[in-house]
Structure 1
Amino acid sequence: MPIDVERVRQALALWDDFPVHREPRPIVLTEMGVAALDRLKADTEWRALFDGRGVSEAELPPEIAPDAIDYCRDVQSGAQRPLARIIRAHGPFATDRGVRELPAWMMYPDDRRWPFIAMDPDLERRMTWRPSGLAAVHHEEAVLADDGRTLTYRFIGTPAQYADYPDAEVFETDTAVLVKPVEVDLDGDGIRLDYAEEREVVVRLAAPLGNRVLIHTGHGPGTPTFGSPITVLTPTDRGA
């Protein structure tokens, strides 16, 4: 399928105003995926935070109170229940540079699989950045080599028995980067029993990634995922 260059340009343009030279770099949030939450649940040291002293419901910022109230509804009936014990601590947030511990308001009732974690609203206003209307979505990670330019880009694509990805087109601006793998069909008969698996391509950027944001086109223009950020890690982040 040919690459829609105009669509790529539209996605990159969403990040034209990203303050790439600001210090410290603005936090770019992504969605906490299921795998990350599974690790969080197994981290007994992190769960120990909830054994500490709580704060009063009156202290809960009004910006996040509706979400906290909705979180505490009965799972089966939807009936409103009292808020669980609230704590203030540094909680984990998925960003485009990996999971970071940031000031948060949290609750973790015994009958819930996942905790409620809301970033401190003042921190979110001052330190985060995202194009208006853009949603955070879960995605695969990319790994940036020590040279700052070689990028291993992982994505969900056609299974290897049906297609190859020998190359990719890389689009760069001063604030963002977008990688579009080039698919080459191998079977030619159109009959596929498996439709998707994790694939990867390795590309070299024209300039070091630096503070720029790696993005993708999501579900296309007009959707909340169009231009959403992708997490970029280093080999050290992945335990290499």
Structure 2
Amino acid sequence: MDDRTGSLAMAALRELWDAGCPIPSPALQGRLLELGFRRWRSFNRRTNLRNPTREDRIHDLTKGLTTLEPDPTLVGPLIKDYHCVATALAAVLEPIEAPQTAVHVSQVRPKTRPRWRRPLEPEAALALWNDFPVDADPRPIVLTGPPGRLPYFPTMENKLASAAAPVVSEVKLPPGVLENLQPQTSPRWQGAPIRVLSAERVLADFPTDRGNRRLPAYSLEIEIENALGRGIVLDPDIEATTWWPAALDPDVRRFDNGFPAYLAADGRSVEIVLFAGSRVHALESPTAVLLITEPEPYVPPGPDAPEAADLAGRSHPVTVHLSSPLGPRVLLAPTTAHPLTVLPR
């Protein structure tokens, strides 16, 4: 996959997400493109059809993309959204005359996604963290995941409910607990609300930029569409002590930012996993380090690089060397200014 094709495919996925398609979230776009590229290229090798049509290939690609689900057999109505993603990828991977992403975008449900910041210029992204109290002792907690999470249920009906249904409580909860469970979607849900039946104080693990931290929280007994489970919400008093830039939408914490970064013993070598032949360098400030990725020039397969095309569609680890030790500074993901989880190598 050359750089232009990869850029166009990622742009198509971002456009679908902005239009409301629930599948290509920023955290999944790289995996969708990686899986889609390999699935599209291997179709002729795998198919038994004599004269496959373009729609046959899109159907096969749709089926392949659903393997990202915990149980693809329960994908249910979301199959239409996966088909939409497959159609958009096909328009880029093997263009037909005048492919128009907008045609595919019009098929998705509008206004059903959480708010997501547009990509930021590197200097602007880094500047958001200028006020981080890097010298504070103890160092402030920086969450890299959501402060509240609903239980996981395997059925499609419960998945849809957990993504869109409002949450109500039958017991008294501290201010802020219920708010961290509410869906970030348009109020289009027609079914029963999610109900909190009971609550108890516990200690629970939450993702931070320095690994999981066990923090005070509320364990909630939750009913979704007649199924019971337990959700977790960070104690609002603890959440109030965490640090987050005032100008950065906190809703981005609702999404997994992908792979963690690994810090070597020298404190300066940072390893991250990137997609599709990218190189990385760092933009540093006294309070934060922003990773910046750039695509590497496309190398066509040949005698000296027989696997070049395959490698262009796979994730791989990359190491960046900082000018000074990371220390208590915050490591930031490219374009979003979202903090990354840093683990020791």
TM-score (norm 1): 0.67
Please tell me the residue identity of whatever aligns with 2:280.
A
Report the 3-state secondary structure (helix = DSSP H, G, I; strand = E; otherwise coil) of the residue aligned with 1:229: coil
Q: What SS class does the counterpart of residue 86 from structure 1 fall into?
A: strand
Specify which of 142, 152, 159 is matched with residue 261 of structure 2.
Answer: 142
1:15 is matched with which residue? 129
Letter in 1 for 2:236: P
Confirm or deny that 1:209 pairs with 2:326: yes
1:17-36 matches, within 5 Å, as 17-31=131-145
Cα distance in 2 for partners of 1:69, 1:205 equals 39
Q: For the residues of structure 2 that align with 1:169 and 1:195, how far apart are their CA atoms?
A: 19
Q: Which structure's residues are more often helix, by fraction? A: 2
What's the offset of the Cα at 1:30?
A: 1.1
Equivalent residue, structure 2, for 1:100: 213
Aligned to 1:168: 280
Residue correspondence of structure 1 range 175-186 to structure 2 within 5 A: 175-182=287-294, 183-186=296-299
Q: Which runs of 5+ in 1 are unaligned?
A: 39-55, 71-75, 219-225, 236-240
Letter in 2 for 1:197: R
- Larger-Rg structure: 2
Aligned to 2:200: 87
Residues 11 and 216 in structure 1, CA contact (< 8 A), matched pair in contact too: no
Judge conservation of contact 1:154–1:199 (CA < 8 Å) in 2: yes
The unaligned stretches of length 5 or more in structure 2 are 4-119, 153-169, 184-188, 302-308
Q: Kindly tell me the number of residue pairs found equivalent between the two proteins.
A: 187
> For residues 127-183 of structure 1, what are the alpha-carbon distances to aligned partners after superposition, in whole Å with 9 as ceiling and x for unaligned?
x0111224213121110011111111223x11xxxx4x4x53221100111222442
Work out the CA distance in 2 between the residues paired with 1:81 and 1:29.
25
Conserved 8 A contact 2:263-2:269: yes
Q: One-letter code of the match for 2:192?
A: A
Deviation (angstroms), 1:194? 9.1
In 2 relative to 1, CA 129–149 (structure 1 residues): closer, same or farther, beyond 3 Å? Answer: same
Q: Is the 8 A contact 1:142 1:151 kept in 2?
A: yes
Specify which structure has the bigger relative contact order, considering alpha-carbon pairs within 8 angstroms and separated by 6 or more residues.
Answer: 1
| Identity of matched residues, % | 35
Instruction: State the SS of the aligned residue for 2:197.
Output: coil
Whether the aligned pair in 1 keeps the contact of 2:282 and 2:291 (CA below 8 Å) is yes
1:125 maps onto 2:244 in alignment: no
For 1:185 and 1:154, the matched residues in 2 are separated by: 19
1:78 aligned to which of 191, 198, 221: 191
SS of residue in 1 equivalent to 2:123: helix
In the alignment, the residues of structure 1 paired with residue 313 and residue 232 of structure 2 have an alpha-carbon distance, to the nearest angstrom, of: 32
2:340 corresponds to 1:230: yes
1:181-227 deviation line (CA, Å, top 9, x unaligned): 44231128xxx789753222112111110111111234xxxxxxx21
- Larger fraction in strand: 1
Structure 1: how far apart are the matches of 2:182 and 2:259? 31
